[in-house]
Structure 1
């Protein structure tokens, strides 16, 4: 069998990868039903899809659905640390996906792989953090010819796309998959909350009960993280720049303050803002000995790593797996997890498959919708059709054997009329 184009760590890991992918599929009934529908209808026949995603078992099941729909798929990683090498091997050897990704790749390889998948001349893009779209616009704009549009899965990526669109630089219609109700509620809130705690515990074996956890950012991800940290017995402090989100945190019973004040009180710090330099030099100077620093925002910019390196007089790499210790001149030590990258994927396995089931079902259905409707869409950020989000929610409820009420004819008339 001729294998698709690939650059992975070890194809010999494919069998282990298949077991991992199959295990994830058990918790992904909605995406499985979408794949079965795609196999019958072949809605992506003859189209090439270039994806920049975390190379995990859950992603593999998304790509299997696209392949079942007839697409040729090329994949690059959206984070240097998150690739599961056995999954990457299985995607190439068993599922016919062109993969250019391996765990621990250097920045130059990461950038090169993005260009490689774009050189497949894709018709559709699936992005996670806007790196693929950004590379296409700034590095290889010649490869945009023939691209019908794309989908973006993350809060950070949608923010970047909206900025590009506002400046008139976005040349494609890009669907904000991240902004659907199912994605924000389940993926961002429940998925990020659980998987971030998982990553911190795997990397440190720390006890959270009785300790102070500082959550920087109270969007959907921050809310989920704060809920789960409090559920484990932690005292939770929230920092925010948005008055509405800060008020929401106050009304939910959290302590809300500035990072300057929180820095002296916190035992564990987690950034989930989508911005940069949230923890800076002045904050590091106030932290306790033994403070733990973690990030669950998409990029490794939320903790000022240059300031951390500059302040340290000694750096002990790998004091635990996925943990580096920085020693300051006064003897205080802080622990940085996963190099300041996504701790839930660097030190753990990312979101549970049951969470990604809905997110990737929305992604798969939206990809087909985009292929069918791209000619009618102008460049810019596009919302996912409401019926797609509703369909996925109904499929998930059916998989959970949950029944809900339906509107009566009289109720439908009432809701659609302004006359009493």
Structure 2
């Protein structure tokens, strides 16, 4: 990113912060993919909150971005599922960074969900609420028996549609690049897309446009009808789909392949995902008879007598290998995260799931167009 691009991005987030910043800024903890353009977003978050810590997702950390964020004076702490799956540990962590403060939690993937009730009950300050960015995280919060504070989700916002579409495109690009590094290509293979949500449908459409035969598996009958209406084959039997596919793209945000599913894969099939391996694949359940060998950059072959398949990027999101860039469209949803943080700071939201208003989204879209539609 060139200097003038950084300046424009900082000006954009400054304008968003000026539109939405609350009178009293709460403390905040930010979970984020720390990609090259992300320091500007971090500074934007600091424009509407008192940012106490950045917790980069461990499998998507760009070294230069990390150094820049730390150089700007924002502490970066190590993130793991274990940090917030243990309520006592989670409470101690927040008390160490923001004791007695009102706090907003900015999440990507439902990390805070297992300890949210304990944080609301036992943290020395006050949890004002959570902002969640992903569909996977949205479902984790919505599935809680009790939502003890407001959760403002941007996962289903129309401002996220461009990002979701372009992320799907980047997944296909990275998958093809890794295959080509081994001398393989997409053409001549049947692709199975597991999950026909926003990302899965984007992946399926691009593969189809490339002339690839695409089948889709989804447990939701409504989505299966949508799949058929868009010209894709629907497989009702996941095992049959796995046996026929030379490429399997997992896009559910939850568990796509169980341990017992892997032996059903067609010989020589490639497997790629749109999210972390811990969410999408049950690799720990893979039979021990499989031997693992690195056979290319970010390509692992799993081999046993009479059967083998290839796993891309260790089962983690393949698009992060090539920057996962979706251009300036990512700044739409990042601005909505700032607006959601400000809404929580202002108070008045009951415990439960919320979205920001259409009027606020229109303000964000208009501001974005002023800066980036050039």
Match of 1:232 in 2: 210
- CA distance in structure 2 between the aligned counterparts of 1:23 and 1:340, rounded to whole angstroms: 37
Q: How far off is 1:236 after superposition?
A: 1.2
In structure 2, the CA distance between the partners of 1:241 and 1:46, relative to structure 1 (3 Å rule), is closer
Match of 1:11 in 2: none
Match of 1:198 in 2: 173
Where do residues 223-262 of structure 1 align in structure 2 (5 Å cutoff)?
Answer: 223-257=201-235, 258-262=237-241
Asked if the contact 1:292/1:336 (under 8 Å) is kept, the reply is yes
Where do residues 7-406 of structure 1 align in structure 2 (5 Å cutoff)?
Answer: 25=6, 32-38=11-17, 43=22, 46-69=25-48, 71-78=50-57, 80-93=58-71, 95-101=72-78, 116=93, 119-121=96-98, 123-137=103-117, 142-143=122-123, 145-164=125-144, 167-168=145-146, 170-183=147-160, 185-188=161-164, 190-205=165-180, 206-257=184-235, 258-276=237-255, 278-297=256-275, 300-312=278-290, 314-316=291-293, 318-330=294-306, 332-345=307-320, 347-372=321-346, 374=347, 376-399=348-371, 401=373
| CA RMSD in angstroms, aligned pairs only | 3.0
- CA distance in structure 2 between the aligned counterparts of 1:329 and 1:229, rounded to whole angstroms: 31
- CA distance in structure 1 between the aligned counterparts of 2:14 and 2:60, rounded to whole angstroms: 25
Could you tell me the TM-score, scaled by structure 1's length? Answer: 0.77
> Which range is displaced more, 111-120 or 265-274?
111-120
In structure 2, the CA distance between the partners of 1:187 and 1:119, relative to structure 1 (3 Å rule), is farther
- CA distance in structure 1 between the aligned counterparts of 2:328 and 2:95, rounded to whole angstroms: 30
In structure 2, the CA distance between the partners of 1:99 and 1:248, relative to structure 1 (3 Å rule), is same
- CA distance in structure 1 between the aligned counterparts of 2:2 and 2:334, rounded to whole angstroms: 14
- CA distance in structure 2 between the aligned counterparts of 1:293 and 1:84, rounded to whole angstroms: 24
> Which range is displaced more, 229-238 or 44-53?
44-53
SS at match of 1:65: helix
Asked if the contact 2:45/2:338 (under 8 Å) is kept, the reply is yes
Asked if the contact 1:173/1:379 (under 8 Å) is kept, the reply is yes
In structure 2, the CA distance between the partners of 1:398 and 1:339, relative to structure 1 (3 Å rule), is same
Q: Tell me, which stretches of 5 or more residues in structure 1 are unaligned?
A: 1-19, 403-420
In structure 2, the CA distance between the partners of 1:88 and 1:118, relative to structure 1 (3 Å rule), is farther
Q: How far off is 1:270 after superposition?
A: 1.1
In structure 2, the CA distance between the partners of 1:23 and 1:326, relative to structure 1 (3 Å rule), is farther
In structure 2, the CA distance between the partners of 1:244 and 1:24, relative to structure 1 (3 Å rule), is farther
Asked if the contact 1:24/1:57 (under 8 Å) is kept, the reply is no
In structure 2, the CA distance between the partners of 1:197 and 1:70, relative to structure 1 (3 Å rule), is same
SS at match of 1:96: coil
- CA distance in structure 2 between the aligned counterparts of 1:298 and 1:24, rounded to whole angstroms: 30
- CA distance in structure 1 between the aligned counterparts of 2:189 and 2:149, rounded to whole angstroms: 47
In structure 2, the CA distance between the partners of 1:138 and 1:322, relative to structure 1 (3 Å rule), is farther
- CA distance in structure 1 between the aligned counterparts of 2:23 and 2:300, rounded to whole angstroms: 45
Q: How far off is 1:23 after superposition?
A: 8.7
Cα deviation 1:278-329 (Å, max 9, x = unaligned): 22355423322221111114562422212335341x111x332322211022
- CA distance in structure 2 between the aligned counterparts of 1:68 and 1:139, rounded to whole angstroms: 24
In structure 2, the CA distance between the partners of 1:354 and 1:207, relative to structure 1 (3 Å rule), is farther
Cα deviation 1:95-122 (Å, max 9, x = unaligned): 2211124xxx887689799774673226
Work out the number of aligned pairs and report it: 364
